[in-house]
Amino acid sequence: VFGYSKFRSAFGRWPSFHDKESETLIDIPPDHNLSKLFQRRFQIDREIDACSPMSAKEINTTHIKNTTFGINHMEGGWPKDISYLDQDQTVRYRKKAEREESYIPTMNNLCKSMEECIQQNNSIDIYVRYFAKEPLLEYHPEVSASVAYNLRDPSGLGRGVSCLTFHPNEGSEKIGVVHCDLDFEEILKPCYESYIWRVENPFQPEQILYPTSPMLTMQYNYKDSNLIAGGQHNGQVAFFDIRKSSKPISFTEKSISHTEPVNSLIWIQSKTGFECFTCSTDGQVLWWDMRNLNEHADQMCIDSTRNNDINIAEGGISLEYSPTVPTKFMVGTEQGNVYSCTRRAKNPGEKIGQVFSEHLGPVYLLERNFYLYKIFLTVGDYHADIWSEDFPHSALWKTPMYNSHVLHGGWSPPRPAVFFLSKADGTVDVWDLMYKQKGPEYSIKLCDERLFSLAVEEKGEFIAVGSESGDTYILQMSSEVFEPQNTEKNFFLFMTEREARREKFLSDKEKDKKVVKAQMAAAASTLFSEKEKEEISELLNQTTDIFYETIKDEKKKLTQQSPQLSKVLLHWHCNHQLSVKIVI
């Protein structure tokens, strides 16, 4: 409470009030025309509450202590000297463990606890999903994508992005970007740097790699992500250890390297983890070991005649290797062929096996499905194909022909029926064969330039696309693209088996037709001699002449007997064709 005081003299003169008679100042008569404009409003009752009813409740909960700890664990519990991806080593280790005396008692103890867990799982379904509807095949997902990050070429020269590779351990957080401009790069744009980016910082690369020649491809080592191998434009393979330096620690010798640019490079799943192999347009596939770069570990010539002739060899563009089949690999050439090869051949001519031919131009991408290793994807010219190793004569499934070149693509790691394509018109297509087979599920326009490269992150949520001007777009896909469906694997397997049966039926039908034609030709050649064939042709000619003479005689007789009938007969003869078949 605040009190204020003021002197009486400050209020001014004392007021004086007195009575006075009323006086009319103004008189406004009523206007009857205004009553016509009057509109009566109906009464409306509304209840208004200033605040919603609320109640206060309190409850005490028990405090939970969380602890975090880690353990060192190899895949499958294998020792360090055993590579779990090498089938021969794992089989030998199993046989050695089974011969030990403690093997049987240990297995008996483990079987008891395992049996209890199985019985518990049978009685209680611990994997049941509450409040979630099972996806149906008729459901059409609303796929969407957005550009999360944009990485530009720091050199400012606008060099095209020739290769993209995500970090094997850090996933979408780190990515390697290879820039190479094959159009007069050494004269007009003498900049050879490639970059490793931290995606969260798109303004400054985390590390710069300085090769001696522009790189076309780069791959992280699967065992040690600090080791990087890059294929250069001069044909050499450079090896980097980013812990030591941004420059290569070793090179392959020029005398034994490729004579043309290295287009593709893949690390091999080996015990040491230091082996890789490359391909080039010089027609060679070379194997390398980082411990000895003075010579290549193995060599193969991409010769379709299997004569190991380098002069007629096809140029290699893309490679494919799967650890599930460590002795096999595949090569895509610039002539549009895909060769299935093996390293366990007795002579060089036997290294090349089946040939898959469908494309009219270079095969830019060759990649196996992550779930069905016999199914692989090829990208070239104006379409993409899905193949099976069991049917090399025709692709199981083909995309429709695009109006622009398809330059790259890739499978989605978490979903077997989803793959991506990048095109020359700056568009990226998302194909989901589970819901749609005649067209892409979603398309996004990134720019008006060619998209040379594409890489998919391990979880499938992020996709990296490289353009001709040197920009790298990191796309974040919606959950409908990368979340696996319960029935997707079985559906994709059923679809491939169905198409395989169809291709087998068509190929068998074509073989039967060829056999029947060959048998008919052989039977005709053995049934009649040359003289008999001439006599049969003369007999046919004589029979034809006699037939037409008989028709002419009959016409003359009819015209003599009835002129009206002759007109009708002539009219019918002019509007119809008469065919005669003579069977011997």
Residue 140 above 60 pLDDT?
A: no
Q: What is the domain partition of the chain in residue ranges?
A: 145-486, 537-584
Q: Of the candidates 489, 398, 430, which has an alpha carbon nearest to the alpha carbon of residue 141?
A: 430
pTM above 0.85, yes or no: no
130: pLDDT confidence band, cut at 50, 70 and 90?
A: low
The pLDDT of residue 10 is 78
What confidence score (pLDDT) does residue 142 get? 75
Per-residue pLDDT averaged across 168-179, rounded?
87
- Predicted confidence at residue 201, as pLDDT, reads 85
pLDDT of residue 571: 46
- Which pLDDT band holds residue 218 (cuts at 50, 70, 90)? very high
User: What pLDDT score does 575 carry?
Assistant: 42
User: Who wins on pLDDT, 448 or 139?
Assistant: 448
Structurally, what CATH architecture does the domain formed by 145-486 represent?
A: 7 Propeller (2.130)
447 or 71, greater pLDDT: 447
Average pLDDT over residues 180-201: 75
Averaged pLDDT, 367-392: 91
The residue-averaged pLDDT of 18-46 equals 82
- Alpha-carbon span 505 to 42, nearest angstrom: 81
Q: Exposed (0-12), middle (13-18) or buried (19+): which is 296, by Cβ within 10 Å?
A: buried
Task: Return the closest-CA partner of residue 165 out of 193, 195, 191.
Answer: 195
With bands split at pLDDT 50, 70 and 90, how would you rate the model's confidence at 83?
confident
Q: How confident is the model at residue 578 (pLDDT cuts 50, 70, 90)?
A: very low
The pLDDT of residue 579: 42
Residues 405, 409: Cα–Cα separation, whole Å:
12
**Taking the CB of residue 129, how many other CB atoms lie within 10 A of it?**
9
Q: What's the whole-number mean pLDDT along residues 480-499?
A: 86
Output the pLDDT for position 72: 57
Task: Check pLDDT > 90 for residue 166.
Answer: yes
Determine the 3-state secondary structure of 216 from DSSP: strand
d(CA 467, CA 427): 10
Flag whether pLDDT at 258 surpasses 90.
Answer: yes
Kindly report which listed range (325-329, 531-535, 544-548) carries the lowest average pLDDT score.
531-535
Look at residue 584 in the predicted model and tell me its pLDDT: 40
- Say whether pLDDT at 44 is over 90: no
418-423 and 375-380 strand pairing? unpaired
Predicted local distance difference test score (pLDDT) of residue 562: 57
In three state form, how does the secondary structure of 521-537 look? Answer: HHHHHHHCCHHHHHHHH
Tell me what percent of the residues of the chain surpass a pLDDT of 90. Answer: 31
* Position with higher pLDDT, 142 vs 488: 488
Mean pLDDT of the chain: 83
- Is pLDDT larger for residue 125 or for residue 381? 381
* pLDDT for the residue 573: 45
d(CA 430, CA 396): 19
Weakest mean pLDDT among 53-62, 107-116, 249-258, 321-330:
53-62
Closest CA to 468 of 410, 523, 525, 425: 425
pLDDT number for residue 454: 95
Which tops the pLDDT comparison, 211 or 187? Answer: 211
> Of the ranges 67-81, 94-108, 408-422, 495-509, which is most confident?
408-422
- Rg (C-alpha) for the chain, rounded Å, is 41
